[in-house]
Structure 1
């Protein structure tokens, strides 16, 4: 491989690593809303140059997790009740719609992929592995949504999902037991296997409404402190 392509590939690999680290720092609350992120300082902590870190920040900005400040770098986007409400209002419209479109198009291969994603999610919920949960939870839901046939819908959902993950962690320990959370997802998977798109859409809506109720209460409690 020519040297230029090797360098470009290395930058992309490092940028992907920096993006993963920064995303986890945002989701965990280590990087609080409104905090400035300095590329040079972050690069030093991660043991890499500032170039891949800036690339990672641009990617996170395109997904709505950070925002660019003209001539001043980046900062973590605000996370509050208004932002949360808008994010979930949109998801309540789009996620059930994606399910309605997707379920009739799911074949044996996509149903098998959904089953594997469900089993991975169930194992992760039981283990209490928060970081893996973010990945496995998304993988399960998108094993369904990805069959909807609409690239634009999926692109918008992906952005909303990224932002909603900051809030989902607030609900993890207070929305029910591990087995109750697993059963919520099992019901969605079962309805997919039956090919009942209306039931899947209703279950997805109920799932989101439950999260919205729990997280909104948690955000309101934090605001009163």
Structure 2
């Protein structure tokens, strides 16, 4: 029987509450902080967020429509399981789409945006250093989606955002406990350096390696990492 895991979530500001809670819940699901097999109740999640159960229920219904969770009548919500094959397919699509897009947008990213991108990358490093997985995943998603938005292709952005939401990175908790998240987090600062230097082809290769690394290492459960370390 699955045992409920503890996870850290910052208290949510009461602005755009439904959307903010939904984003944090997605990050918790992706990072493996919320796991399949456990029924999560809106009141208990609300207590962790520092909000009432109502915005949590509303946010969870959004995630139901995205097939991230299912409703357990009179109990709560259960995280939807994703097969290893599906995870492989999602990673393959990301590798096909994201690296060439960031290569193409590199020449058009304004120099004035570099400080903003660097601050976003530093946020990923800071959250990874702290081991705050929910905030880490939220910051990571914002950075990668921001790069793709320079393409002006909203369908591409929506597709990648959806693929990221349905991914599962079950090994993140173990990596955070070992203090190994910072190294991967710092790859985002290197990405900004390459953008600033106009090295589009090197950026493409780094993003490709980054996605491969995420699927190959972060997605492994703790016991799999220990067996291969």
- Whether TM exceeds 0.5 here: the answer is yes
Measure, in 1, the Cα distance between the counterparts of 2:47 and 2:140: 32
Larger radius of gyration: 1
Matched, 1:90 2:86: no
| Alpha-carbon distance change, 69 to 155 in structure 1, aligned in 2, over 3 angstroms | farther
| Alpha-carbon distance change, 41 to 114 in structure 1, aligned in 2, over 3 angstroms | closer
Moved over 6 A (4+): 38-47
Measure, in 1, the Cα distance between the counterparts of 2:130 and 2:187: 17
Gaps of 5+ in 2: 1-13
- Structure having the higher helix fraction is 1
TM-score (norm 2): 0.70
Match of 1:185 in 2: 188
Q: CA RMSD in A?
A: 3.8
TM-score (norm 1): 0.71
Counterpart among 52, 66, 69 of residue 69 in structure 2 = 66
Measure, in 1, the Cα distance between the counterparts of 2:212 and 2:147: 19
Alignment of 1:103-142 (within 5 A): 103-142=106-145
CA contact (8 A) 2:191 2:203 kept: yes
Gaps of 5+ in 1: 1-10
Q: CA deviation at 1:28?
A: 5.8
The alignment of Structure 1 onto Structure 2 pairs a total of residues equal to: 212
Alignment of 1:1-225 (within 5 A): 13-16=16-19, 18-20=21-23, 22-23=25-26, 26-27=29-30, 29=32, 31-35=34-38, 48=52, 52-67=55-70, 75-164=78-167, 166-167=169-170, 169=172, 172-173=175-176, 177=180, 180-215=183-218, 217-218=220-221, 221=224
CA contact (8 A) 2:125 2:185 kept: yes
Query: After superposition, what is the alpha-carbon deviation per residue over 1:74-101, rounded to whole angstroms, capped at 9, x for unaligned?
Result: 6421133223212211211122133123
CA contact (8 A) 2:39 2:72 kept: no
CA contact (8 A) 1:81 1:216 kept: no
